[in-house]
Amino acid sequence: MPYDSGGGSALSQIYPVSDQCGPIAIAVMSKSTATAAADPAQPPRVSVIVPIYNGAADIPELGACLLAQTYPAAGVEYLLVDNNSQDTTPELIQDFATQAATQGLRVVSLTEAEIQSSYAARNRGIRAAVGELLVFTDADCRPEPDWLANMVQPFTDPDVALVVGEIRALPGRTWLEQYAEYRSVLTQAYTLAHSFYPYGQTANLGVRRVALEKAGLFRPYLTTGGDADLCWRVQMAGSWRVEFAETAIIRHRHRATFSELASQWRRYGRSNRYLHDLHGVPLRPEISRRQQQAHVLRWLFKELPKSTWRWLRGRAPAVAMVAGLVDLFCARSREQGQRDAQLPEAARQIEWLTPPVPDDQVSPSK
């Protein structure tokens, strides 16, 4: 069902409401501007930064989700950064910015064409941003309507520098997508439990601008692991806290093919290697042939019968029966990525928003 602004806006044709933005998107599509006028309190100024590479297929649904946000329009800007796309992404971003302006929403079209890296694109957005709070998501993510409002709320505590929102799956069309949902592959609970420092994935992450003035921006030549690296540097730079905004939800589509799944887990392996080289965190131990055999036997004689019985009784999805084997496939792919990765020397470089400032100017007040 298309969004009807009541005034025949072209947005109703270009950016229709998507059920991927959440079940209440239609009801809140027109609330953002009205809330800004009705709320006497001045909301924190927020800059939402989205790096985009060849995202033409994602921009319409992403745009619908951004228009559906309940956060006051006067308090937010959306910076969409094209990272040298080869499709119609630049034109679609500019078109969305023009159309959103008719609804009182500030959308800024930016370009990062020198460095092919989502982290470089995010840095381009940070430099152009005017917000005191910076929130990151990706083009293939679908924020729920109250996502941004819930991301901002924990920042009312001045000691909080990082807010991590939750990532949930879009409805899976293939059994591999259903596997990833069954295993909660993308949940931020895993990254927040990291033994070195907690961190959040940039698909759903917020940070205070002042913290970046102390810790630096993303490493522009890094290709994976930059979210952990940034979060860790922020925490090492001052006595900042990390908060988990579990109700600040974006939805993301899981990988649908073995090729995509292997690529995802090889990237996780490269991230392990890069973070080891940058911060000294332990590498994941390789899986021996004996361990692989034991894993398969355990799956065959224990997990498979148990999950089959639970599936027959309606207590588990069918994909649970093969989850153990896919776990091993993912672990082997991550192992390969970690083994083959080599951190480029340029990836050690940190960009700075401004020269580092003294600790007493950026440490949280007590």
Mean residue pLDDT across the chain? 88
Alpha helix (H) ranges present in 131-225? 147-152, 175-182, 188-192, 209-215
The beta strand positions in the chain, using DSSP E, are: 46-52, 76-82, 106-111, 133-136, 141-143, 160-169, 205-208, 241-252
Is 3 a residue whose pLDDT tops 50?
Answer: no
Q: What confidence score (pLDDT) does residue 231 get?
A: 98
- Encoded amino acid at 169, one letter: A
Domain boundaries, the chain: 11-255+348-356, 276-341
Q: What predicted TM-score, i.e. pTM, was given to this entire model? A: 0.86
State residue 171's pLDDT score: 86
- pLDDT at residue 22, as a whole number: 62
Contacts of 288-292 with C-beta under 8 Å, sequence gap 24+, read 292/328, 292/332
Half-sphere exposure of 364 (CA within 13 A, CB side): 19
Q: Which residue's entry shows tokens 């004996």?
A: 290
Between CA 283 and CA 277 the distance in angstroms is: 10
Average pLDDT over residues 181-205: 95
* pLDDT at site 360: 55
CA distances from 292 to 327, 329, 331, 332 (A): 11, 10, 10, 9
Kindly state the average pLDDT of the residues 219-228. Answer: 97
What pLDDT score was predicted for residue 20? 66
What mean pLDDT comes out for the span 29-51? 64
Q: Write the pLDDT tens digit of every residue in 68-97.
A: 999 999 999 999 999 999 999 999 999 999
Considering only 50-54, 158-162, 253-257, which range has the smallest mean pLDDT? 253-257
DSSP H or E run through 48: strand 46-52
pLDDT at 361: 54
Residue tagged 């890296």 (tokens): 117
**What percentage of the chain reaches a pLDDT higher than 90?**
82
Residue in this structure with the two tokens 């609804």, named with its chain if needed: 103
Task: Give the span between the Cα atoms of 16 and 48, in whole angstroms.
Answer: 21
Taking residues 18-24, report their average pLDDT: 58
pLDDT score recorded for residue 19: 59
CATH architecture for segment(s) 11-255+348-356? Alpha-Beta Complex (3.90)
Q: Please choose, from the candidates 52, 51, 41, 49, the residue with its C-alpha nearest in 3D space to the C-alpha of residue 74.
A: 41
Q: Do 127 and 40 meet the contact criterion of CB atoms below 8 Å apart? A: no
pLDDT in tens, 289-318: 999 999 999 999 999 999 999 999 999 999
Give the model's pLDDT for residue 355.
64
Q: Which amino acid is at 261?
A: L
pLDDT tens readout for residues 98-121:
999 999 999 999 999 999 999 999
The residue to which tokens 């951190």 are assigned: 343
